[in-house]
Structure 1
Amino acid sequence: MSGPEYRARRTLTAAPADLLLDRLAAELERSFGITRTELYQVDYRLAVLLPLGDGEPIAGPGHPAWRCFDHQEPVVAEGAGWFPVGMRGERRGVLRVSPLPGDPAALGELDAIATVLGHELTAVTPTTDVYVTARRDRRLTLAAEIQWELLPGRSRLRPSFRLAGQLEPAYAVRGDSFDWSDDGRQLRLAVINGFGEGVHASMLTSLAIHALRNARRAELTLADQAALTDQAIYAMHRGAQHLSALLLELDLASGTMTVVDAGSPRLMLLREGEVTEQVLEKQFPLGMFEDTDYREQQFQLRREDRLFVVSDGVIDATAHQIRYGETALDRFLRRTGPMEPLDAVRSLIGDLRAFVAADLVDDAVAVCLDWLGPQP
């Protein structure tokens, strides 16, 4: 096997973790005559594309870099090519190269190479701070650092579903979070509405997520996952601290959704352009009482249904004594129908910031799940 894509793949897998872009740039110059290779990563707020190394941040939505990022397609503009960098639906940023080769087939090869770069960035990020540091335009609080390290990612794509989530305020989030896992048969999703302030809140959420993962990986039922996490939190805090959570399990063969509502964030259903709140049985938050028994509910999703999970930081955000959840939320959710899930949660958080005319004070988490239907 040979060719530019194969050589770039070998170059990236052999490169030291901190030199991925340097080694890739040298290979692209050999293969395509490209003399300028730049990586721009999206920041934690999904608001600016930040260069790795020298260069100016890109914030304007009409810029070719943002068109590439938003549509996840190559963009050619002013003699340069922009290519989406990501992995399995997780959008990391864009790769800029110039000058472009004259062969039209090279665009497809460069697009594939940008995807390979996305995989390698994901693989090496736990071993170096180079790429993590470059994608923040300000310092994270310690609590936010803990929260972002907990996340499985911000977006996920499979033939049967699309999924994305976002935390705000991104650089100072405290207790809100989400977690997910899929094994080809089931998608398991947990959305946490945290309790407390600062590091205390992030540590409580960290305990909850690790307890949920431990129970999930032991293949316990959803109700037992809630009960085990409830016991872990109660054993640590004796009811003085607790948190709300919504646990969901989607059967990917049938679209059946199993839910445990532990004092949860709100679950909204967008179906055929109409928004309704999915009525759930409210149960005690995790860690509030000792030995709580949790009960599962089920409901059926239809093909093309969209679910939103939003915390009270979204619902209760207030401007001029008007709550966002009472006046603006349903209207905005209806407008997200054509958007990809990551664009939907990013736009929702942006609309929320515009509503309060400032950065958010309370934590807010928004998760969007599209059910596309069972696949062969």
Structure 2
Amino acid sequence: MSDRLTAVQRALTDAPADLIVECLAEAVARDYAIDIELLLVDYRLAALLPLTGGPPLTRPGEPAWRSFDHQSEVRDGEVGYLPVTGRGERMGVLRCSPAADSAETRGELAEIATLLAHELQAASAGTDRYTSAARTSRLTLAAEMQWELLPGRSRIRPSFSLAGQLEPSYAVRGDSFDWAEQDGRLYLSVLNGHGEGTSAALLTSLATYALRNARRAGLPLADQAALADQAVFAQHRGDRHVETLLLELDLDSGEMQAVDAGSPRMMLLRDGDVLDQPLEAQFPLGMFESSEYAPQSFTLRAGDRLFIVSDGVFDAATGTSRYGEAALHRFVRRTGSLAPLQAVRSLLGDLRVFVGGDLEDDAVAVCLDVTAASRQ
């Protein structure tokens, strides 16, 4: 590591949580003679917003958006753009002026952009500055609760790539997702809590925390569902329930266990074909005092893509026309060349165009790619 890169890293780690970018900019200007500016992606994945103010960038073809979408350096004349991403979580883009000329400097700036992403993730527990700056409008209280509940929006590891998105992003209510990776296994849940406003958000939060509690206790997938089912029923006595899909993927073998508790829709994209992945429907969480759940299994292989959507996607309507399963299958087929975050962003953007604005019902879309060869 060069002396100047070490100095910049020290400036990052020593910076106050709410002044990380300013301290970084001072160090980069001193040691590299380059001015930097952070552009944060908004909750809808539709705008790149300068942290210090200024007009948002909303046109997909702009250089900053090409850097964000393709996760690579993009140069536009004397200005360069670098993705700010940590462990697959895309936070935005770093604008550099002038763009670096030497390969060494370009490599160090790319590393700085990654270091910045990790520092922003660490700082999020201590300041509201960056979450506030990533908004084009005020979130509803329910949406605030739902976004705070998420583990992130995207994740990349050697064996998988994963992303999820909520819509309407600034007013989502009961739809959500959760994931965790441990000991060679990926756990994924997609939830749809019934109701409106904060009551739906509270219901989904209860189910999510109950599932996390059971998962962190090392319980099998079916027992995770049963514990969450009991927690929701104890609170609402069967008046409210949460449609949930629970998945557990063995990253070595590709074996997927699933519990379909009245779940969202799941599709498999394999070798260019879209197939509905059928599962035996079981009772949603909280519907009855004591429900038993049984996992089912299927196998994924390298190159497979799972797309999971709630009913707010395929039931989206305008007038007498529904988006429907046929349109959904066509769209999923076209996403094969897109990274998971681009795929869910494109799908929900297509839905907004279809209905002519925000969706009336909230929706969740999750995309999982299996990228490492399995033993199958």
Q: Same fold (TM over 0.5)?
A: yes
**Distance in 2, Cα, partners of 1:23 & 1:326:** 50
What corresponds to 1:226 in structure 2? 225
What corresponds to 2:178 in structure 1? 179
1:353 alignment partner, SS class = helix
For the 8 Å contact 2:222–2:293, the answer to whether it is kept is yes
Look up the equivalent residue of 2:5 and give its one-letter code.
Answer: E
For the 8 Å contact 2:36–2:96, the answer to whether it is kept is yes
1:270 alignment partner, SS class = strand
Q: Does 1:26 align with 2:26?
A: yes
Q: CA deviation at 1:54?
A: 2.6
**Distance in 2, Cα, partners of 1:41 & 1:102:** 25
What corresponds to 1:290 in structure 2? 289
Alignment of 1:210-225 (within 5 A): 210-225=209-224
**Distance in 2, Cα, partners of 1:321 & 1:331:** 20
Q: CA deviation at 1:78?
A: 2.2
TM-score, L = length of structure 1: 0.98
What corresponds to 1:192 in structure 2? 191
Look up the equivalent residue of 1:14 and give its one-letter code.
Answer: D
Against the structure 1 CA distance between its residues 230 and 151, is the aligned structure 2 distance closer, same or farther, given a 3 Å change threshold?
Answer: same
1:57-92: CA deviations, max 9, x gaps? 111111110010000001111211111001010000
What corresponds to 1:146 in structure 2? 145
What corresponds to 2:17 in structure 1? 17
2:52 alignment partner, SS class = coil
For the 8 Å contact 1:4–1:109, the answer to whether it is kept is no
What corresponds to 2:75 in structure 1? 76
What corresponds to 2:135 in structure 1? 136
Q: CA deviation at 1:116?
A: 0.2
For the 8 Å contact 2:254–2:374, the answer to whether it is kept is no
**Distance in 1, Cα, partners of 2:193 & 2:213:** 19
**Distance in 2, Cα, partners of 1:73 & 1:120:** 20
**Distance in 2, Cα, partners of 1:214 & 1:126:** 21
1:261-287: CA deviations, max 9, x gaps? 000001111111111111100000000
Look up the equivalent residue of 1:53 and give its one-letter code.
Answer: T
**Distance in 1, Cα, partners of 2:99 & 2:275:** 49
Q: Does 1:260 align with 2:259?
A: yes
For the 8 Å contact 1:144–1:171, the answer to whether it is kept is yes
**Distance in 2, Cα, partners of 1:177 & 1:326:** 21
Q: CA deviation at 1:320?
A: 3.7
TM-score, L = length of structure 2: 0.98
**Distance in 1, Cα, partners of 2:271 & 2:256:** 18
What corresponds to 1:5 in structure 2? 5
**Distance in 2, Cα, partners of 1:320 & 1:375:** 46
**Distance in 1, Cα, partners of 2:21 & 2:325:** 47
For the 8 Å contact 1:305–1:371, the answer to whether it is kept is yes
**Distance in 2, Cα, partners of 1:46 & 1:117:** 20
Alignment of 1:1-376 (within 5 A): 2-34=2-34, 36-374=35-373
Task: Give unmatched runs, 5+ long, in structure 1.
Answer: none
For the 8 Å contact 1:33–1:101, the answer to whether it is kept is no
For the 8 Å contact 1:159–1:375, the answer to whether it is kept is no
**Distance in 2, Cα, partners of 1:62 & 1:266:** 32
1:121-158: CA deviations, max 9, x gaps? 00001110110100001000000000000000000001
**Distance in 2, Cα, partners of 1:277 & 1:326:** 10
1:89-136: CA deviations, max 9, x gaps? 000000111123443321111011000000000000111011010000
1:30-63: CA deviations, max 9, x gaps? 11111x2210000000000011013221111111
**Distance in 1, Cα, partners of 2:303 & 2:248:** 17
For the 8 Å contact 2:18–2:127, the answer to whether it is kept is yes
For the 8 Å contact 1:252–1:374, the answer to whether it is kept is no
Q: Which range is displaced more, 226-235 or 51-60?
A: 51-60
**Distance in 2, Cα, partners of 1:54 & 1:355:** 31
Look up the equivalent residue of 1:96 and give its one-letter code.
Answer: R
Q: CA deviation at 1:327?
A: 3.3
**Distance in 1, Cα, partners of 2:73 & 2:4:** 18
Q: Which range is displaced more, 275-284 or 103-112?
A: 103-112
**Distance in 2, Cα, partners of 1:341 & 1:150:** 20
**Distance in 1, Cα, partners of 2:160 & 2:325:** 29
**Distance in 1, Cα, partners of 2:325 & 2:61:** 32
Aligned length: 375
For the 8 Å contact 1:177–1:191, the answer to whether it is kept is yes
Against the structure 1 CA distance between its residues 138 and 274, is the aligned structure 2 distance closer, same or farther, given a 3 Å change threshold?
Answer: same
1:337 alignment partner, SS class = helix
1:224 alignment partner, SS class = helix
1:274-302: CA deviations, max 9, x gaps? 11111100000000001100010000112
For the 8 Å contact 2:253–2:374, the answer to whether it is kept is no
Q: Let me know the Cα RMSD of the aligned residues.
A: 1.2
Percent identical among aligned pairs is: 61
Look up the equivalent residue of 1:113 and give its one-letter code.
Answer: I
